[in-house]
Structure 1
Amino acid sequence: MSGNDIREGFFEECEDLLEAVSDGFGAMGRGQRDKETLNAVFRAVHSIKGGAGAFNLDTLVEFAHKFESVLDAVRSEKLTVDDDVLRLFHRAGDRLADLVVMARNGQECDPAENAALVAELAALIGNDDGAADEAAAAAFVPVTFALDMFGAPPDEPEGPNVFVIRFSPHRGLYATGNEPALLFQALGRLGTLTVEADLHRVPQLSNLVWDEPVIDWILHLETTEPEMAVREVFDFVEGLCDLEINAEKGNKVPDFPSPLIEAPPDADLLKKEPAHVVELAPAQTAAAPSVAPSPAAAAASAPVQQRPTIRVDLERVDRLINLVGELVINQAMLTQSISEVKLPQGNRVEVSLDQLKRLSSEVQERIMAIRAQPVKPLFQRMARIAREAGQAAGKNVHFSTIGDATEVDKTVIERLGDPLTHMIRNAVDHGLEPPEIRLANGKPEQGNVILTAAHRSGRVIIELSDDGAGINRPRVREVAISKGLIPADKELTDNEIDNLLFLPGFSTKAEVSNLSGRGVGMDVVKSEIQNLGGRVSISSRPGFGTTVTISLPLTLAVLEGMVVEANGETLILPTTALQETVQADPANIHRIGTDGIFLSIRGGYIPILDLGVCLGLQERPSDLKGRVLLLLENSAGSRTALAVDRVVDQREVVIKGLEGNYGHIPGIAAATILGDGRIALILDTDELASGLKSEAEAVPHRLAVAGG
């Protein structure tokens, strides 16, 4: 493994450790301030410090060390965590995450940005503890990775210390992924180490409990390092073992003491081999806790059984997903070919093909699940956005999440960051009232912002709610008229007024601030969500708050679509925006002007777009008699009827992107391959229904439809 691989592995571990820090502070914010929670946060910060030292990331080491010292003061009950301290801890955790990112990207850190926060942390533990902290910092010598790390040992120091260490692992030590051999390697780098396995507790094989540790260890370490450095190696497994360290001065490792308990008389094998001893030569550099068990495992707060995981390059997963997509397409083509042969019903070929279809569908689902990741890391980043927005706006914000274990396609998660950032800033700046106004209205001074994720009907639903003043609809209407976004005499429903917030350039802020006022925000949210194949809506109750709802597909690789025909071409219409299908009836079709065609349904009028004309497949609208009308609703709540020749089928299709190899096509989102081998284009319903493609104003856009 190269040095770059080791370095990247450290930063990947940091992601898990920072998540543990965020989880711990979140639990403390909910009143869970027990010792286990504190230890989990402490060990995570300690692991980051140790790993950073291995790569000479001095700024990260110094900040993590100061942070660790304050957390240790909480563990030793010298410092009590109140709301103010917890807010400072949140800021320190955010800064620690920033330093990790900067170190990963090779960016320089401005020392002044750390100085103020470090001073605040130091003030919590006072001068006396600060002096002890500086002494501990001086004693901390991290392991640094070098080509000759495992080379020849240094010259023998004079007057080494000799430590006799008795180490008995508990079941929880192994359950959290720790390994004694790694601890022994860390000790071996401190000096000359001799390890003896004490087997007196090993029972007969018939009485063996597979997950119960029965081997104790007696270690003799000859080193020039102080006892604190020895104990630091075991920080990762504190509470997961019985540990006894006895120190004495000398230049010779004493003889091994006999086991405390005699071996059982029937353990013949153990009598023959009472102990296994191995000599570990000293390394060239002093040891540090960073080489102890996996930091992610060490950060676990309780001995909980963890499922084994592996890290895989995302590009490999994408290639595998593409291959599975090709497999599904070829299976569909095989089905199509066999159906054309017209074999007798119930023949073995069809039975085998059905089995292949089920297997390929299951393989596709399992492969797609590999890309699925919980939204928890994303939601944790949004917690920071909420804290910073509250601080900038001078508002007391309580941010909480529900359903952060909900799994979504990784690509979807990556592209949700910007929309959610805008939504949270709007909720804090526009939604929540200032503290004095909330108190005057009988509300708690602290405003609530809740981010929720859940699976519903095969889609991911994300909601952001606040308990603020709600949307001031008269103000929104007034601003929209003043900006020329709507006519002054236009009548709008409450829902239509709410959706004005998604228009580009719309803002009710009179002054530009760090959070809003430039008219850039909810229009970005709408645009990004639409690009993900999703929809966004908004609802509000004046005086009670606002909820923004996002509906997204579980994955961007497979789509549930309606197969339709228009002017002889086969196209795919995503079912996400489809409300219903209607058979065209001349009695309900009305023409207004020269090109306007409307459908009368349930007391309202819906504009009709001819799909063939919208895509440039024909010059003039066809006669609607006998055609099928697909009623669509876009993210703004507007409805449109799309006229097609017929509906062929409804199926899941594998999405193939066009923009990377061809470019953007108005009204087209992507493409797929049908069972007969033909290419079918996937429609962008929101773009088609936006009115830009209506017969009254659109210039036909010619498409060279593959296979047509």
Structure 2
Amino acid sequence: MPADSSILDTFFEECEDLLVALTEGLTEMREGNADDETVNAVFRAVHSIKGAAGAFSLDDLVGFAHKFETVLDEVRSHKLETDDNLLRVLQRAGDVLADLVEAARDDIPANREQVDPVLAELQSFLGDEDEPEEEFVFEAMTLEFGNDAEEDRFLVTFKPSHDFYASGHDPLLLIAALAELGTIDVTADVSELPEDYASFHWDHGYVSWRVELTGVNNDLPILDVFQFVDDLCDLKVTRIESEPSEAPLIDLPEIEVEADLPEVEAAPAPIAAAPDPQPPAPAEKKKDDTAEKPVKRAATTLRVDPERVDRLINAVGELIINQSVISQRIEEAALPNSSDLFADLDDYKLLAREIQEGVMAIRAQPVKPLFQRMLRIAREAADATGKDVELITEGEGTEVDKTVVERLADPLTHMIRNAIDHGIEKPEDRVKAGKPQLGKLCLSAFQRSGSIVIEIVDDGAGLNRPRIREKAIEKGLISDDAQLSDQEIDHLLFAPGFSTASEVTNLSGRGVGMDVVKTGITALGGRVAISSVTGQGTTFSITLPLTLAVMDGMIINVGGQTMVVPISSILETVRPAAADLSKIGLNSELLRIRGEYVPIIDLAERLGHPEHTKQMTDRVLLLIQTETVPQCALAVDDIFDQRQVVVKSMQGNYGAIAGISGATILGDGKIALIIDPDEIASTTTPNSIVNANIEGDPQHVAVC
């Protein structure tokens, strides 16, 4: 029968978390850093996916997960040796499991050409014996007796926390459920019970339980009993290898909830009867063990509809605009500086910023899941090209707006594939070039100057610029006699339809990859830069705004218009003296600062305003630095203020404007355009500066 869509959505959301845990565990196993608990965590992730998928009759997913967990069970029982071949197959199985989850979510058939080979490889580790089909049928658990030779003994210890009782759970019900699995021997440690009623709290976890269970072949049924409370108690399940030593605790010979429940509630009775000097030592150990547990519980997440978060972010944006309006009104009222309103307004500003940062943190998420997807993309691309490539990830904890993370998947996929297909050489070519046979690809993320930077660095052959130029001429993108710098040649890669591949393959050759990259990054308000050294490798840098809604900006006046420049791009402001300026060419000027010459860009002229009559010494220069250009100076008429502004997109309401990244609403209700310093600098080509040689001062001249 069809499942409720909301329940299915919850299942797939949980699958995402489980797949992340699966990938982390398999990566640790591949790197040789795994212990038994890591293997158990990988096993539990696959088992959880299988169990939940069975409830929705997702047979393809259940069948594959069953075979996968069977192999993992052999691994954690130390019956299979974790060599490179097994680890490779396990990673491939993890990729296929993720594909099957995605296929189930999209309600499309599984790709048997991809699934069956991995199933066969998994089966090769289990031998030729076929497992019974009943393993795939999810029915109520039944008890089996008379098979003691194959039944193991397990020790289950658990100590409920405050949250356990506050949620209405009862430990005796859990013990009763364990009793249905086999024979149990239960003891309770009450050494932590307070000695007086005044300090007793009914929902505090004073009592810890110790259950010896005989009658199960593995720990799966036990974990199923605790699946809804495992994060609410300190749980440990271990296989008993030898006869355990028993502390003198209170015996519970029979597990009948109705009979025993009053005894637990009447806690004072055993208090006086438990002065045994031996229990304090293990009790202290239990305290140390449980001290680490709240850290895990603190990592629990609350799932919220993204639309609700978007509405909250919009409300915060309006709050910041309202704060600007109030500031404007107070300024117009010309109140004395001693007025208490100014102190109240400062408090309002701090509160608005704190709320804004808190709301943005809700939308932020680490790039780790995205990077883990790229690990798989890299493995598939390496297999398809026959190359040995190791993908190294750095800065996985860097947090980015959720919208940005989701829309980064396609651009990063294209760039990873291109780096492996075009950048990194084949093993034999690398050996000839004196490089290790194993190619390295580094994917890193970090924050810099209020922006998020993602870099893809390979140690391949670098960009073949003569080949790129030849292809660009062939496709009519440039003329035969065009004089292009290395940087301009590199950016031809982003031209629509451009490709240097000689033939179309599954990875490249259709000329849509890098065009998609630039389009996707630009749509996010970001930019892409390329740096390549022949024979050493290539670096692609993606720079994205830290948030898509609010930014700190400098309010400026350009040609009588109020505009905003992002603070993150400004290094300093300068009021130039005549001695600081040097003429070059017909109309260009340079700013001399700390022994270097920096080109000056007239922002008004660049944006199409009439030519200025104001002298450069009467204007303000904003010294900026961007990802794609060295230092430049933007000439503006005046600086008004520095404030937080709410970024509004121009794309939907007007369209793309060269040099403008968006707009904002000021406190007086006027609209101010937000300058894109990187585009302003990179599209301004003062050719007379490129090979300039300042007379009497041969120092290097910075070029935009």
Per the normalisation by structure 2, the TM-score is: 0.76
Which residue identity is paired with 1:353?
L
Amino acid at match of 2:373: R
Q: What residue number does 1:439 align with?
A: 431
Change (3 A) 1:496 1:631: farther
Q: 1:207-236: per-residue Cα shift (whole Å, max 9, x none)? A: 999997733277999x9x999984573596
Aligned to 1:24: 25
Q: Which moved more, 1:335-344 or 1:183-192?
A: 183-192
Report if the CA contact (8 A) 1:43-1:235 is conserved: no
Alignment equivalent of 2:209, drawn from 213, 216, 223: 216
Choose the corresponding residue for 2:442, options 450, 460, 474: 450
Which segment is superposed worse, 40-49 or 336-345?
Answer: 336-345
Provide the residue aligned with 1:298 in structure 2.
none
Q: Are residues 1:6 and 2:2 paired? A: no
Counterpart for residue 38 of structure 1: 39
Q: How do 1:46-445 residues align onto structure 2 when only pairs under 5 Å count?
A: 46-128=47-129, 131=130, 134-135=131-132, 138-139=134-135, 141-142=137-138, 168-170=156-158, 199=188, 201-206=190-195, 214-216=207-209, 230=221, 233=224, 240-241=236-237, 268-270=268-270, 305-307=296-298, 308-445=300-437
Note the C-alpha offset of 1:107: 2.2
- Cα distance in 2 for partners of 1:119, 1:42 equals 19
- Is the contact between residue 608 and residue 640 of structure 1 (CA under 8 Å) also seen in structure 2? yes
Question: How large is the RMSD of aligned CA atoms in angstroms?
Answer: 4.8
Moved more, 109-118 or 80-89: 109-118
Separation in 2, partners of 1:3, 1:160? 41
Deviations 1:280-331, CA, capped at 9 Å, x for gaps: xxxxxxxxxxxxxxxxxxxxx9996331321111111111111111111111
Give the Cα–Cα distance (whole angstroms) in 2 for the partners of residues 680 and 607 of structure 1.
23
Kindly state the Cα deviation for residue 84 of structure 1 after the two structures are TM-superposed: 2.5
Q: Please report how far the alpha carbon of residue 381 of structure 1 lies from its aligned counterpart in structure 2 after TM superposition.
A: 0.8
| Separation of aligned partners in 1, 2:515 and 2:577 | 37
Aligned residues: 631
TM-aligned CA distance change 1:229 to 1:325, over 3 Å: closer
* Aligned pairs (5 A) from 1:271-670: 305-307=296-298, 308-489=300-481, 491-575=483-567, 598-600=588-590, 611=604, 614=607, 620-623=610-613, 625=615, 626-627=618-619, 637=629, 644-661=636-653, 663-664=655-656, 667-670=659-662
CA distance in 2, matches of 1:184, 1:267: 18
Q: Distance in 1 between matches of 2:305 and 2:346?
A: 33
Q: Distance in 2 between matches of 1:67 and 1:36?
A: 18
In the other structure, the counterpart of 2:702 is none
Instruction: Please identify, of 580-589 and 653-662, the stretch whose mean Cα deviation from structure 2 is larger.
Output: 580-589
Q: CA deviation at 1:407?
A: 0.7
Give the partner amino acid of 2:332: E
Q: Give the CA deviation at 1:432.
A: 0.7
TM-score, normalising length: structure 1: 0.76
C-alpha separation between the residues in 1 aligned to 2:103 and 2:678? 39
**Contact 1:171-1:240 at 8 Å conserved across structures:** no
Q: Is the 8 A contact 2:628 2:682 kept in 1?
A: no
Amino acid at match of 1:20: A
Q: What amino acid maps onto 2:543 in structure 1?
A: S
Deviates more, 1:180-189 or 1:318-327: 180-189
Q: Distance in 2 between matches of 1:86 and 1:24?
A: 11
Counterparts of 2:255 and 2:159 in 1: how far apart (Å)? 26
Contact 1:175/1:304 (<8 A) preserved: no
C-alpha separation between the residues in 2 aligned to 1:447 and 1:173?
50
Cα displacement (A) at 1:609 = 6.1
What SS does structure 1 have at the residue aligned with 2:125?
Answer: helix
Comparing both chains, which one has the higher relative contact order based on Cα–Cα distances under 8 Å and sequence gaps of 6 or more? Answer: 1
Of residues 75-84 and 582-591 in structure 1, the stretch that sits farther from structure 2 once superposed is 582-591
- CA displacement, residues 681-700 of structure 1 (integer Å, 9 cap, x when unaligned): 22445665675999xxxxxx
Q: Which amino acid aligns with 2:10?
A: G
Report which stretch shifted further, 504-513 or 232-241.
232-241
Which secondary structure does the structure 2 equivalent of 1:28 belong to? helix
Q: 1:601 to 1:661 in 2, by over 3 A?
A: closer
Alpha-carbon distance in 2 for matches of 1:311, 1:43: 22
Query: Counterparts of 1:582 and 1:539 in 2: how far apart (Å)?
Result: 30
Deviation at 1:121, TM superposition (A): 1.3
Structure 2: 5+ residue stretches without partners: 242-252, 275-291, 687-704
